[in-house]
Amino acid sequence: MEADLIAWRRKLHTMPELGLELPDTSTFVQEKLEEMGIPYEIKVNGSCVVGILGKGSRCFMLRSDMDGLPFQEESGEEFASRNGRMHACGHDLHATVLLGAARLLKQHESELKGQVKLLFQPGEETFQGARAAVEEGVLDHPKVDSAFAMHVAAQMSPEYVAYGSLPMAGVYGFRITLTGQGGHGSRPEKCIDPINTGVHVYLALQELIARECPAISETALTIGQFCAGSASNVIPETAVLQGTMRSFDEKTMSHLIARLNEIVPSVAGAYRTKAEIEVISDIPIVRCNEELNQEIVEGLKELEPELKAVCAYHVMGSEDFAYISQKIPASYMCIGAGIEDVSKRYVEHNPKVRFHESALVKGAAIYAGTAMRWLDLHGNQ
């Protein structure tokens, strides 16, 4: 099976697609499921594929995302993409791992003490896919009792799997549009300068972390875009700031959101500028069920004794699997996929990042073994 998984992964790697529009990726997954004889349904604009195996009242769901990122690959791999997009977060591996698990589960379908749902999800990078799938009933018909997802880690050695009760932070993404009055750079007194206002808004927001969040709190506020103007001698009409706030604490996040909505119009008003705040994303914390975590870790010890499971997954990144973990008991883990040359390991989202393909067979076995073990413990009697 390893040769097939490597071939599938490399095929997917050459053709990354973005957001909720994954026609070729979705078709590839559908074709493989059809070859395996696994029934499926389509959701989310045709880009979400949901397979189902087994029989019974209890259902365990495995989830993998499939979308790529919008920049040119520089990995140097023979199978590198060349369309200005890249699978730089390993979602090609994720989809392949779930296809591998599907094949294993199909081979053992008669042994399943319940049903396994396979969620091939689009739109994780845009934080749209999980919510859309949930809204279209992916957790129903049959009702899903628990769910499990994994992410490959390009800087973690292949013998490790990491887990935690709060693996990923919540994120609130926002866009601030400041509207002033444009004019000639020689007569600023006749203008209302949105760039000047934007600078003061930026500085005021930084004080939220420095002066309103406890020093020990795990909180971050980043303005990643500040766009304004097109010429050095023109004061523009508008300026746009776009950023994110992240935290592991709901109360802290609520406070930051409230203060954002107080500070921005207040500062803008002081400089005679109109302000509009637009919510880009509002993703909750990924909160794992500790009992499910422990069940999976115990299963890993039986499945692959050489794996080192460490309780060390707690990062400021965010994941829309949070929408699923809010609704049902769920677990989210990290599987090592670092290449052998440590000096050439790059982080995910880097155009040079590469992944160790040993994660494919290992991940497929973990997915399939976890689903079967959960149904053995909680499924049909």
Binding residues for Mn(2+): 89, 91, 125, 151, 349
Residue closest to 150 by CA, chosen among 106, 97, 99, 112 = 97
Task: Report the relative pairing of strands 59-65 and 146-153 from DSSP bridges.
Answer: parallel
- Which residue type sits at 213? C
Residue 87 neighbours by CB under 8 Å, 6+ apart: 12, 13, 16, 68, 69, 81, 93
Q: CB of 122 within 8 A of CB of 131?
A: no
Spatial separation of the C-alpha atoms in residues 269 and 263, rounded to whole Å: 10
Spatial separation of the C-alpha atoms in residues 360 and 366, rounded to whole Å: 10
- Which residue type sits at 98? L
282 token code pair: 């509002």
279 token code pair: 């919510």
Binding residues: 89, 91, 125, 151, 349
Residue closest to 172 by CA, chosen among 266, 21, 277 = 277
Cβ burial 12-27 (10 Å sphere, 16+ → b, else e) = bbbbbbebbebeebbe
Spatial separation of the C-alpha atoms in residues 89 and 69, rounded to whole Å: 8
Spatial separation of the C-alpha atoms in residues 62 and 375, rounded to whole Å: 13
Nearest-Å Rg of the Cα atoms of the chain is: 23
Residue whose pair of structure tokens reads 């067979």 in the numeric block: 361
At 64, which helix (H) or strand (E)? Answer: strand 59-65
- In three-state secondary structure terms, 46 is coil
Taken in order 152, 157, 163, 166, is the CA torsion positive or negative? negative
